[in-house]
A = this chain, B = another copy of it.
Amino acid sequence: MTQISQFFPVWDQLTPGQQQQLSEAAVLRSLPKGSVLHGGVDQCTGLLLIHSGQLRAYALSDQGRQITLYRLFERDICLMSASCMMRSLQFDVTIQAEKDTQVTIIPSQVYKQVMEQSAPLANYTNEIMASRFTDVMWLMEQVMWKSLDRRLAEFLLEESALENTLQLRITHEAIGEHLGSAREVITKMLRYFQSEGMVKLSRGMVELTDPDKLEELRDRS
């Protein structure tokens, strides 16, 4: 289990009292795969320090459509689950465990209290937010300037790398939820990929049959 201190490069710049405040409030928790942790501005679970597993942050439309904003892995800190700490952070992000995930939770109020006293912690929190902001700007540019075929190729390659397999157990619906597209649109594009020999489709499965060609498509300028 990773120590709390190892999540914060600025830990040594906190006073012993501040270190104690954070440590004492911290709670270990297991999030089973599929569980949804944070659903919007109202809930405010706290900061999540990820020991193992994988989280997905996504936005949800009124009509129930989803788009994956970013993913968090071992050693990452999830700030959006403590968004109530910041008055000006006024948008809803939902956090879902994509794998069985072990986290330490630091309650928002405690973290906020320490952050208000500690310039190093406030500046480090700034950096975490800046990273997520950068993720979202990247996605924004993808959505604006990149066509869906390239984004789909990229998604399949990324999933394949994450799961360490060419045979992805994933539905067209789930892919749509990552990319913010309707299932029908994904199905149509996947069938096109299949006709080009890049994937092979079967029930609940997408097999990458020509990763090189998918990479070529992804990197096309």
CB distance from A152 to the nearest CB of B (A): 16
In contact, B138 and A91 (Cβ under 8 angstroms):
yes
User: For residues 32 through 66 of chain A, which have their beta carbon under 8 Å from a beta carbon of chain B?
Assistant: 59, 61-63, 65
Which residues of A, 110-124, contact B by the 8 Å Cβ criterion?
115-120, 122-123
Stretch in contact with the other chain, from A101-109, A127-135, A165-173, A185-193: A127-135
Q: What are the interface flags for A141-170 relative to B under an 8 Å C-beta threshold, 1 for contact and 0 otherwise?
A: 101110000000000000000000000000
Interface size class for chain A?
35 or more
Query: Which B residue sits closest to A119, measured CB to CB?
Result: B119
Contacts A/B (CB < 8 Å), 29 sampled = A59-B137, A59-B141, A62-B145, A65-B145, A86-B126, A87-B130, A88-B128, A88-B130, A88-B131, A89-B133, A89-B134, A91-B134, A91-B137, A91-B138, A116-B120, A116-B123, A117-B119, A118-B119, A119-B119, A122-B122, A122-B123, A126-B126, A129-B129, A132-B133, A133-B133, A133-B136, A136-B137, A140-B143, A143-B143
